[in-house]
Structure 1
Amino acid sequence: MENANKWQANSFTSKLELSISCRNLINADLISKSDPQVVVYMKDSFRGDYFEIGRTEVIDDNLNPDFVKKIAVDYNFETVQNLKFEVFDIDYGGSDFLGRMETTLAEIVANKGSEFVRPLVGIPNRECGVIIINVEEVSTCNNIVELDFRGREIKKLGWFFKPHPMLAIWRSNEGGSFSVVYRTEYRSYSSNPIWSRIRISVKDLCNGDYDRNLRFDCMSYQSSGDHKLIGSFFTNLNDLLKNKKPQTFKLWNDKLKAEKGFVELTNIRMEERFSFLDFIRGGTQLHFVVAIDFTASNGDPKSIDSLHYFDPVYGKPNSYEIALRAIGEIVQYYNDNGYFAGFGFGARIPPNYDVSHEFPLNGNPAHPYCQGVEDLVANYRRTLSSVTLYGPTNFANVINSTARIASQYQHGENYFILLIITDGIICDMPQTKRAIIAASSLPLSIIIVGVGNADFSAMDELDSDDKLLSIDNQKAKRDIVQFVEMNKFLNGSRRSVISKAQLAKEVLFEVPEQVVSYMAMKGIKPVKRN
């Protein structure tokens, strides 16, 4: 009966994605226009606090942005899900608040029109513009489509200069509106541009509906953000796939009532994409590696203010132990032997008390494994009592070490998750970037959990959700890093977690997609088991 009730409760849950646009935003910049980003929060039903569930990309110099990045959310019919949308102007070194809108997910879902439109508020005596939301249930289609486009004879918009053409792809919504799903780079002063290959999931392109109307806008890029429409054409994925030969589309500008050139589809390829569960059911094992920050900036472990402090009276865990348990208790089920490799860094270690940036928590370099979460925590506590906290905060050693292990298992049977728990700013950022880029072709994900009150803004450089990490003309093959700030999930005293489930969800959110992206990159298919 218990299992039946669980199934019944889950049967009313749907995966939704929110497409977001804004109009007439406040201009917070003096020379240019605002660079908006929308951050979406959901209210915790028990504590009443809001926690972040996602954020869009930043669009430069645009008061009327249409965001490509969608916000994924679970919709529960039986639950009131309060949402808050906040818009910020993102500038170097800071941000300006542009307005907010609060509603419920049910109100968005039940909206009778094709678009949910509400005013932004929050700045006294100012009209902040409006926010526009389209909601749609997410398809389970996992296939990937690759498209190669080039332009031909694209006309000038004025008398003198050739355009800077780029392509924007929009998918239709109910009611006739469109949501943008992809933008290419632009080509400077070109009437015959060749754009880089578009690689996009069918789910993102048309939500699994191959007959859904798609609009392709050829725009002339403007540094002001006010891109000019050259012309458009309409098609759908089925029609694109039917024709094996290159296809040519006329660009029509309805406002000018004129033909403005051509766009050619020179190649299209459909790739079967498997899910995370396909690989797990096929036998892929997840291996959990932990690296704990033992630098002096954590504070004396005997002091109540230390991030490594254990309460001897009430036995309340510190932030490091909270993170270890929350994540380890989930990951342990995806590995048959239950072993976790555990390391520390940034301490002077016995017997000579030399500084080490990678030492085993169990004291055994030949076999640095702990049997389960409890053994991992016990070895962490033992290590804390035997080393001297020191520094600096270097990540490259543990990343390179884990990468060397992962490089020996590249056939799909094994995948590694490196959890780095740290209190401070990275001291070897260039070396860490190079290590991550080198590891991006391996079966490895890196999760960085920041504890304490340090400024973690530099971590955003590593968590490359919007563009792949690069340094010295080297570029990552895929995004493998997720950064989470621990304080968002702790109560006021910082001694207990508000929601262990929410913390684990945030920390592990990107892992399934990272596993799938590795398998796709290597052309690995899941093993079929009876």
Structure 2
Amino acid sequence: RKFILDYFFEERQNLQKPLGGIPGKKCGTIIVKAEELGNCRESVMMQFCGNKLDKKDFFGKSDPFLVFYRSNEDGTFTICHKTEVVKNTLNPVWQAFKIPVRALCNGDYDRTIKVEVYDWDRDGSHDFIGEFSTSYRELSRGQSQFNVYEVTLLSFLVDVEPTSLHYMNPYQLNAYAMALKAVGEIIQDYDSDKMFPALGFGAKLPPDGRVSHEFALNGNPQNPYCNCIDGVLEAYYQSLKSVHLYGPTNFSPVINHVARYAASVKDGSQYFVLLIITDGVISDMAQTKESIVNAASLPMSIIIVGVGPAEFDAMIELDGDEVRISSRGRYAERDIVQFVPFRDYIDRTGNHILSMARLAKDVLAEIPDQFLSYMRTRGIKPSPAPPPYTPPGHPLQTQI
């Protein structure tokens, strides 16, 4: 049996477990062989037919099916696909099937692919009809003289699979963009100039490939501000084309970045909201807790939106709803973190507008109380309301 495991640079991944069994009795061994998979995102759709296959059944014709094997680095073969059985025919047309190129040949276009043809029997003693060997490169030539055996390739279609949550689908927003747009479009109305600094974390930057955890999405470290949320989205899309996503994943630099601004404006004239969109991996938990405890005494709140299928235990801990967050024995002065997993808000009918509205509603629900708790504990009163704006040369009109 084959298991595909994602390798994470920043995590320890224990694969060993003791075998349980009968106490005092040796229960055998399991031999594990591992092979590094090539970073290949392609999948291929193939369809085959048979031509005048051998008749194996005493009554009726054969019930043929195909078994595909990929060759391993040590010369052995591993089953990677079985077709369905086509009953009672010597000229079967099997259904088209889709398989990742990694599973078929580990991204090595010249690696041997072996195909065996069997006649299905109810008792499992399937009769061997024949076999042939090919490769991805040969198959990719499509219908040609190279791909005619007793089994013939009918079609071969390559598709590139999105393997990243950042994948840019031309037809809809990815989860990062949806979360950003959902929260941003509401909160931007509380910002007077609509200019937002946008930072990325966990990537190698051009030209020298240094890893950064607080880089300007627009590529301008001296002025990371983007015009409105649409400007932030544009900067995000552009940065995906220029940076290389890379671990570890540190949260504390961006929290400290915003905290430096918040620390310089304590008179109540400004309040800062940091939106972090993450897949849940965090490499600097202790430092992040320290940063949040420090930030809790500043005029700022932190919204964390988790995207993707991961467990978000660390983010729930940072939220502090159950247990107030602490660092080195010091508790946060107030709760400033709100975490939600985006998957909880995805509309079952596929209505992304509804998903985004639900997300924004829950994410922003705690901000007013967090804002007021900061102002009240410091005795900051609202400034007098400015007089209503009257365009020059127009008399004041009152609408009843």
Q: State the TM-score bracket (shorter-chain normalisation).
A: 0.5 to 0.7
Partner of 1:482: 338
Using the alignment, how far apart are the partners of 1:493 and 1:423 within structure 2?
23
Q: Report SS of the residue matched to 1:405.
A: helix
- Asked if 1:307 corresponds to 2:174, the answer is no
Using the alignment, how far apart are the partners of 2:197 and 2:382 within structure 1?
26
Using the alignment, how far apart are the partners of 1:493 and 1:394 within structure 2?
35
Using the alignment, how far apart are the partners of 2:278 and 2:224 within structure 1?
20
Using the alignment, how far apart are the partners of 1:492 and 1:383 within structure 2?
31
Q: Report SS of the residue matched to 1:410.
A: coil
The structure where strand makes up a greater share of residues is 1
Using the alignment, how far apart are the partners of 1:431 and 1:306 within structure 2?
27
Within-5 A mapping of 1:248-397: 303-312=161-170, 314=171, 316-397=172-253
- Asked if 1:514 corresponds to 2:370, the answer is yes
Q: Which structure is richer in relative contact order (CA contacts within 8 A, separation 6 or more)?
A: 2
User: 1:526–1:371: structure 2 CA closer, same or farther, 3 Å change rule?
Assistant: same
How many Å apart are 1:303 and its aligned residue? 4.0
**Alpha-carbon contact 1:425-1:455 (below 8 Å) kept:** no
Using the alignment, how far apart are the partners of 1:471 and 1:332 within structure 2?
32
Which residue identity does 1:461 align to in structure 2?
E
**Alpha-carbon contact 1:489-1:497 (below 8 Å) kept:** no
**Alpha-carbon contact 1:424-1:455 (below 8 Å) kept:** yes
Using the alignment, how far apart are the partners of 1:489 and 1:448 within structure 2?
14
Using the alignment, how far apart are the partners of 2:163 and 2:219 within structure 1?
27
Using the alignment, how far apart are the partners of 1:389 and 1:303 within structure 2?
18
Which residue identity does 2:260 align to in structure 1?
R
Q: Report SS of the residue matched to 2:380.
A: coil
Partner of 2:320: 464
Partner of 1:86: none
Q: Report SS of the residue matched to 1:351.
A: coil
**Alpha-carbon contact 1:487-1:494 (below 8 Å) kept:** no
Q: Report SS of the residue matched to 1:414.
A: coil
How many Å apart are 1:520 and its aligned residue? 1.1
Partner of 1:413: 269
**Alpha-carbon contact 1:406-1:415 (below 8 Å) kept:** yes
- Asked if 1:443 corresponds to 2:311, the answer is no
Using the alignment, how far apart are the partners of 1:528 and 1:303 within structure 2?
57
How many Å apart are 1:471 and its aligned residue? 2.2
How many Å apart are 1:493 and its aligned residue? 9.4
Using the alignment, how far apart are the partners of 1:424 and 1:502 within structure 2?
20
Which residue identity does 2:275 align to in structure 1?
L
User: TM-score when scaled to structure 2?
Assistant: 0.55
Q: Report SS of the residue matched to 1:400.
A: helix
Question: Percent identity, aligned pairs only?
Answer: 51
Deviation string for 1:318-340 (max 9, x for gaps)? 00100111111111111110011
Within-5 A mapping of 1:127-276: none
For structure 1, the residue ranges without an aligned partner over 5 or more in a row are 1-301
Which residue identity does 2:283 align to in structure 1?
C
Which residue identity does 2:310 align to in structure 1?
A
* Structure 1 ranges of 4+ moved more than 3 A: 491-498
Using the alignment, how far apart are the partners of 1:494 and 1:306 within structure 2?
20
**Alpha-carbon contact 1:461-1:469 (below 8 Å) kept:** yes
Range 506-515 or range 463-472, more displaced: 463-472
User: 1:493–1:401: structure 2 CA closer, same or farther, 3 Å change rule?
Assistant: farther
**Number of matched pairs:** 227
Using the alignment, how far apart are the partners of 2:314 and 2:349 within structure 1?
26
Using the alignment, how far apart are the partners of 1:384 and 1:390 within structure 2?
12
Q: Report SS of the residue matched to 1:385.
A: helix
Using the alignment, how far apart are the partners of 1:305 and 1:419 within structure 2?
24
Deviation string for 1:394-423 (max 9, x for gaps)? 100000111001101111110000000000
**Alpha-carbon contact 2:280-2:314 (below 8 Å) kept:** no
Using the alignment, how far apart are the partners of 1:494 and 1:406 within structure 2?
39
Q: Report SS of the residue matched to 1:383.
A: helix
Using the alignment, how far apart are the partners of 1:444 and 1:437 within structure 2?
12
**Alpha-carbon contact 1:317-1:495 (below 8 Å) kept:** no
Using the alignment, how far apart are the partners of 1:512 and 1:489 within structure 2?
21
**Alpha-carbon contact 2:347-2:355 (below 8 Å) kept:** no
Deviation string for 1:429-461 (max 9, x for gaps)? 100000000010000100110000011022221
Using the alignment, how far apart are the partners of 2:238 and 2:330 within structure 1?
40
Say what the alpha-carbon RMSD is for the aligned residues.
1.7
| Aligned residue among 475, 480, 501 for 2:357 | 501
For structure 2, the residue ranges without an aligned partner over 5 or more in a row are 1-159, 388-400
